[in-house]
Amino acid sequence: MVTEAATGAAMIRMMGLGLVVGVAFGYALQRGRFCMNSTFRDILLARDLTLLRAYILALLIQMVGVRAMATLGLFGLGITPFFWVATLFGGFVFGLGMAFSGG
């Protein structure tokens, strides 16, 4: 039987892993000057698909990376319940970050 402490430790490990991967990925995107607005602008106005290819590559790496980490047992994949209040709060915080960063 899984104890509450074991579940809490697993949750902290998952959050730590998410923080490390998120910071590393965010740093790479920021330093690479990735911007969805620029991507669509370049596609429509300049007919340049360079940033779109970069986003597709990042998505493929993320998909393989998540599956590899789950296979190594770093976290489990599964269907989680939908928390609408947390989703609204997260979207609000994301929007504030976009506004403050000039996006």
User: Could you tell me if 9 and 70 are in contact, meaning their C-beta atoms sit under 8 angstroms apart?
Assistant: no
Percent of the chain with pLDDT over 70: 92
Residues 2, 71: Cα–Cα separation, whole Å? 21
User: Could you tell me if 76 and 70 are in contact, meaning their C-beta atoms sit under 8 angstroms apart?
Assistant: yes
Ordered by start, the domain boundaries in the chain are 4-78
pLDDT digits (tens, 9 = 90+) for 36-73: 777 888 888 888 888 888 889 888 998 999 899 889 98
CA angle centred on 101, ends 50 and 13, rounded to 5°: 85
**pLDDT confidence band for 12 (50 / 70 / 90):** confident
Collapsing DSSP to helix, strand or coil, 32 comes out as coil
Residue type, 4: E
**Strand residue runs (E) in the chain:** none
Q: List, as one string, the DSSP characters of 65-92.
A: HHHHHHHTTSS--------HHHHHHHHH
Q: What would the two tokens of residue 70 be?
A: 């789950």
